[in-house]
Amino acid sequence: MTPPLPTHNIRRHVVILGAGASRACCPNGDAVGKNLPVIADFIDTLKLRPKLETAGVFVDGEDFEALYSRLMTSGKYPVLVKDLEDEVFNYFTELRLPKEPTIYDHLVLSLRSKDLIASFNWDPFLIQAMGRCSLIAEPPHCLHLHGNVATGYCFQHERPSIGDRGENCRQCAEPFVDSQLLYPVAQKNYTADPLIAFAWKFVQASLKDCFLLTIFGYGAPATDVEAVNLMKEGWGDVNDRVMEETEIIDIRSDEDLRSTWDSFIHSHHYQTHNTFYDSMLGLLPRRSVEMMFRQLVEAEFIEHFPLPKDANWEELRDWVRPFVEQEKIAANASGA
Ligand SMILES: [Zn+2]
């Protein structure tokens, strides 16, 4: 198949990832079968219940974030709070992507360097996928909106350094600072951690000028009301986004998703899918914006060119290669 030509200086595709995406990426656990928690089963997946019970803490139907927030703000459990922070950090740090290509690899390869993935997840999967897919194609931008175990930073300079956790800053050679994962919910103001504040600024600017928005496995929990407000601020008034398309990949029903994300949807300009492979990313990889522009603005009929979801690494590399070659030719022709 000859891929459709890329357009230079085209608008972005922004993807927001939540815990449901990591679980869809590793439905049977990570490389060694370690399970991915979602907020509803977080305490039990991380086996935190015995620790809480020993400390005399009763979990009364709260999710982990609400519980952490209560313990932290009470000031009565400093040892337990530190212990929980370490447990969470260590659990996520150890997670490894399975060897064969996963949904996260497909996601990274379905986008170009102009695009952005902003993740709410603490796990290192996206960073790991970016690392291995960068051998095939230049990856999109990637940011973590709630901190991440694989990312470190140094903000001692005018231009911040962000890189892999455990590395040193390229500007001052000091070790990177770990990003903070847990905050009491009431103080989740997104300015306390400079890395998170930086991420949000970038995401808001990207939401302003993106043409396509995909929300993948992010349920907008009540504890994230501030995050959703920030996203909304970036997206702006839905009546100013009449050509743009919003897409939601989630196992919930269409009706439920439509009502959750109503303030991001103009009229009928939205789609919901149960799997990544039925989405604009899975069906129009690396050309989603070009193709959706033709469909939505120029009313053209477009054909899909689905990403080969069962391909091994070699087959996947061969499949992506013609796309990358065309992108290089287009970039050279435009003098970029
Ligand atoms: Zn530095």
Q: Is the pLDDT confidence value at 93 over 90?
A: yes
Tokens standing for residue 102: 């996963």
Work out how many domains the chain is built from and give that number.
3
195: CA distance to ligand 1 center in Å? 13
Q: Is the pLDDT confidence value at 75 over 70?
A: yes
Instruction: Tell whether 4 is covered by a domain.
Output: no
Instruction: Tell whether 168 is covered by a domain.
Output: yes
Mean of the pLDDT values across residues 173-188? Answer: 80
Q: What are the tens digits of pLDDT across the range 190-249?
A: 777 788 888 999 999 999 999 999 999 998 887 788 889 989 999 999 889 888 999 999
Pair (262, 195) in one structural domain: yes
3-state class (DSSP) for residue 144: strand
Report d(CA 36, CA 45) in Å as an integer. 7
Pair (60, 162) in one structural domain: no
Mean of the pLDDT values across residues 288-311? Answer: 95
Mean of the pLDDT values across residues 66-86? Answer: 91
Pair (208, 237) in one structural domain: yes
152: CA distance to ligand 1 center in Å? 11
Going from the C-alpha of 129 to that of each of 17, 62, 119, the distances in angstroms are 14, 32, 13
- The pTM of the full predicted model, rounded to 2 decimals, is 0.93
pLDDT for the residue 225 = 84
pLDDT for the residue 186 = 63
171: CA distance to ligand 1 center in Å? 5
Report d(CA 90, CA 92) in Å as an integer. 6
- Read off the amino acid at residue 36: L
Lowest mean pLDDT of 16-30, 210-224, 315-329, name the range: 210-224
165: CA distance to ligand 1 center in Å? 13
Pair (262, 140) in one structural domain: yes
pLDDT for the residue 174 = 95
173: CA distance to ligand 1 center in Å? 6
Instruction: Tell whether 6 is covered by a domain.
Output: no
Element (H, E) at 322: helix 313-333
Instruction: Tell whether 5 is covered by a domain.
Output: no
What angle, rounded to 10 degrees, do the helices at 225-235 and 194-209 form? 40
Percentage above 90 pLDDT, the chain: 70
Pair (166, 55) in one structural domain: no
Number of other CB atoms surrounding residue 118 within 10 Å:
24
Closest CA to 203 of 236, 181, 230, 180: 230
Q: Is the pLDDT confidence value at 4 over 70?
A: yes
Instruction: Tell whether 238 is covered by a domain.
Output: yes
Q: Is the pLDDT confidence value at 294 over 90?
A: yes
145: CA distance to ligand 1 center in Å? 21
Pair (174, 197) in one structural domain: no
Q: Is the pLDDT confidence value at 160 over 80?
A: yes
Pair (226, 311) in one structural domain: yes
Tokens standing for residue 214: 């995909």
Report d(CA 257, CA 334) in Å as an integer. 40
Instruction: Tell whether 210 is covered by a domain.
Output: yes
Q: What are the tens digits of pLDDT across the range 45-60?
A: 999 999 999 999 988 7
pLDDT for the residue 188 = 63
Instruction: Tell whether 63 is covered by a domain.
Output: yes
93: CA distance to ligand 1 center in Å? 23
Residue 192, domain CATH: 3.40.50
112: CA distance to ligand 1 center in Å? 28
**pLDDT, averaged across the chain:** 92
Pair (287, 326) in one structural domain: yes
pLDDT for the residue 97 = 97
- Put residue 236 in one of left, alpha, beta given phi > 0 → left and psi -120 to 50 → alpha: left
176: CA distance to ligand 1 center in Å? 7
Instruction: Tell whether 64 is covered by a domain.
Output: yes
- Pick the residue with more confidence: 80 or 195? 80
- CB within 8 Å of 1: residues ≥ 6 apart: 305, 322
79: CA distance to ligand 1 center in Å? 31
pLDDT for the residue 78 = 93
Mean of the pLDDT values across residues 27-40? Answer: 90
Pair (207, 259) in one structural domain: yes
Pair (140, 279) in one structural domain: yes
127: CA distance to ligand 1 center in Å? 21
pLDDT for the residue 221 = 80
pLDDT band of 303, cuts 50, 70, 90 = very high
Which structural domain range is residue 165 located in? 151-178
Going from the C-alpha of 314 to that of each of 100, 133, 146, 178, 318, the distances in angstroms are 10, 12, 34, 35, 6
Report d(CA 261, CA 147) in Å as an integer. 23
Task: Tell which of 178, 195, 220 closes a domain.
Answer: 178
Q: Is the pLDDT confidence value at 88 over 70?
A: yes
Strand-pair partners of 245? 212
91: CA distance to ligand 1 center in Å? 28
Pair (121, 141) in one structural domain: yes
169: CA distance to ligand 1 center in Å? 5
pLDDT for the residue 273 = 96
Report d(CA 267, CA 58) in Å as an integer. 45
Pair (187, 53) in one structural domain: no
166: CA distance to ligand 1 center in Å? 13
170: CA distance to ligand 1 center in Å? 7
- Pick the residue with more confidence: 329 or 2? 329
113: CA distance to ligand 1 center in Å? 25
- Read off the amino acid at residue 91: Y
